[in-house]
Amino acid sequence: MTPAARTGADFVVWTAVHGLAALLADGLIAVDGPEAADRQTERTVRATLTGLHHEATPSEPWPTPHSAHTTRAADGPHP
């Protein structure tokens, strides 16, 4: 994976897996049991990582995503 693709890649993978999990949990898609859900999750992760691996370097850097977790982690411990 190129250095440009690595920036924010954790958020790209997280959103793909979170999206699949939400669709499964809400019953908007269905698979044949837990093993099938595991296999579909693996496929989603592999496809996402493959896409990131083949991603061309953008002309401008990708925006750095932030979440409440990354903001809290950057701020340090709170009393």
- The per-residue pLDDT string of the chain (79 residues; one tens digit each, 9 = 90 and over) reads 888 788 888 889 999 999 999 999 999 999 999 999 999 999 999 999 999 999 888 888 888 888 887 777 777 776 6
Structural domain of 42 = 3-75
Q: Taking Cα atoms as reference points, which of 6, 7, 39 lies closest to residue 20?
A: 39
Q: Is 52 exposed, middle or buried (0-12, 13-18, 19+ CB in 10 A)?
A: middle
Per the structure, the count of domains in the chain is: 1
**Owner of token pair 């949990």:** 25
Indicate whether this model's pTM tops 0.95.
no
